[in-house]
């Protein structure tokens, strides 16, 4: 579902931007505010077409699957098991399987990145996963919202539980702890270097004769 700026939306309706702004303020056409710094209106194409009385085209159901394991030893069978379960429970057949061997805390996963790009290109309408934590440990709702903007829905086979087990969960949280610890010590290191530089500058100011005195 594409979101259009005010000018583009007005052009689609064949009216002036000022007219569309008034209609939006009056509640005649739904819109979404984006950007906290400088809020701008965005209009969904479906809402504009509905206002014009144009029926939205029905997209054929095209299913893909996303499977993921943490990458820890012994996880390969879980990857295959997820794919097999999703294929067996599919209603119209899985056309493609996106795979990752990485922690669910990582944002830069190749398989997930490719999935999002293909969703934006309109290559499928449904993403199926065995469990929500296969998409991400945190932020699943954000991923589903991004996909929804492209007309893609997420189907979770098992609404409760985890596919990774306790060992994978512990590995993910150890990774998270290590990341925060590294950043904390990095900040401390920068602060220590700054303090040393300030102390050296203060000593230089206290010694007007200079080093050759």
Q: The domain spanning residue 30 has which CATH number? A: 1.10.1660.10
* Co-location of 46 and 64 in the same domain: no
The answer to the question of residue 157 being in a domain is: yes
Count: domains in the chain: 2
What pTM, to 2 d.p., does this model score? 0.56
Domain that holds residue 69: 60-200
Q: Please state the separation of Cα 198 from the chain's center in Å.
A: 42
What tokens were used for 113? 């990145």
Is residue 134 assigned to a domain?
yes
17 and 84 assigned to the same domain: no
Task: Output DSSP code: residue 156.
Answer: E
Residue 211 falls inside a structural domain = no
Q: Is residue 209 part of a domain?
A: no
Three-state SS string over 64-126 comes to EEEEEECCCCCCHHHHHHHHHHHHHCCCCCEEEEEEEECCCCCCCCHHHHHHHHHHHCCCCCE
Q: Are residues 94 and 31 in the same domain?
A: no
Residue 82 within any structural domain of the chain: yes
Average pLDDT, the chain: 80
139 and 38 in a single domain? The answer is no
- Shared domain for 129 and 147, answered yes or no, is yes
Q: Does residue 76 share a domain with residue 39? A: no
Please indicate, yes or no, whether residues 117 and 188 belong to a single structural domain of this protein: yes
pLDDT in tens, 137-185: 888 888 998 898 888 999 999 877 665 555 555 555 555 565 555 556 6
- Sequence-distant (6+) residues with CB within 8 A of 133 are 104, 140, 162, 163, 164
In this structure, is residue 207 part of a structural domain? Answer: no
Tell me the pLDDT tens digit for each residue of 188-209. Answer: 666 665 676 666 666 655 655 5
């Amino acid at each position: 579902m594409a979101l259009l700026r005010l000018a583009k939306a007005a052009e689609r309706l064949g009216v002036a931007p000022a007219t569309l702004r008034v209609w939006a303020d009056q509640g005649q056409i739904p819109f979404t505010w984006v950007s906290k710094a400088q809020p701008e209106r965005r209009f969904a194409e479906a809402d504009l077409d509905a206002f014009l009385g144009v029926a939205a085209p029905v997209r054929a159901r095209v299913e893909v699957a996303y499977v993921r394991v943490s990458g820890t030893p012994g996880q390969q069978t879980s990857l295959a098991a997820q794919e097999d379960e999703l294929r067996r429970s599919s209603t119209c057949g899985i056309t493609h399987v996106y795979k990752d061997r990485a922690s669910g805390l990582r944002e830069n996963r190749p398989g997930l990145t490719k999935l999002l790009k293909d969703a934006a290109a309109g290559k499928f309408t449904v993403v199926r996963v065995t469990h929500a934590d296969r998409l991400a440990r945190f932020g699943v709702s954000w991923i589903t919202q991004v996909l929804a903007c492209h007309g893609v829905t997420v189907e979770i086979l098992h609404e409760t539980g985890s596919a990774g087990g306790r060992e994978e969960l512990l590995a993910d949280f150890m990774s998270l702890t290590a990341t925060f610890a590294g950043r904390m010590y990095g900040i401390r290191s920068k602060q220590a270097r700054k303090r040393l530089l300030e102390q050296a500058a203060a000593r230089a100011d206290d010694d007007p004769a200079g080093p050759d005195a």
